[in-house]
Amino acid sequence: MSVIARRIAAVPVRTSVETWRAIADLLAPTTSAARQQLDAVTNVGAMLVAEEYTALTPVIVQPASGARIRIYTVHGEDAIDAQAYEQPLASWPLDQPGWAISLPCGAVDLDEVRAALVGHPAFAVRDVADGIEAGQGDPQAAGAAALIIDLEEMSRP
């Protein structure tokens, strides 16, 4: 299993909404069905960026096939440097149906974010304390597409 990581410059280079849109730009072309789904959760995504949860642990993208993608946001003065090193992905990871995205969230916001994502089954939310183990303890994620990243497997040569 392969994993790709990307870092996106966030506040103050971009507002939280602009940052979520930069993440969407990375994942799907503007006219695609996947992009509509990404745009539909901009309020939630932007709030998670503003709280810097996405700096602590990544947005995890599970395409229908191919490598998983971890997207981190970079904040503060480091964001100014990070902008120069942003790289697009080699292909659109959400071009096939069946993808899923796990969003990191602080405990204080979990219930409200979970409620806001009802009706958006491709998206799940996980506690930042769970790190990069997506989907555990999250009924919505379990109902959609559970993402479990096997760290041991990833460390193999």
Distance of closest approach, residue 53 Cβ to another protein, in angstroms? 11
Q: Which residues contact 107 (CB under 8 A, 6 or more apart)?
A: 127, 128, 129
DSSP for 103-151 reads EEE-GGGHHHHHHHTTT-TTEEEEEGGGTT--STT-HHHHHS------H
Piece of the chain touching another protein by CB under 8 A; list 13-21, 24-32, 60-68, 91-99 = 13-21
When asked if residue 11 is in the footprint of another protein (CB under 8 A), the reply is yes
Q: Which residues contact 33 (CB under 8 A, 6 or more apart)?
A: none
Question: What residues from 77 to 136 belong to the interface with another protein (CB under 8 A)?
Answer: 77, 80, 108-109, 112-113, 115-116
Pick between residue 14 and residue 70 the one whose CB is nearest to another protein. Answer: 14
Q: Which of 12, 98, 137, 143 binds another protein (CB under 8 A)?
A: 12
Distance of closest approach, residue 85 Cβ to another protein, in angstroms? 15
List interacting residues with another protein (CB under 8 A): 11-18, 42-44, 46-47, 50-51, 76-77, 80, 108-109, 112-113, 115-116
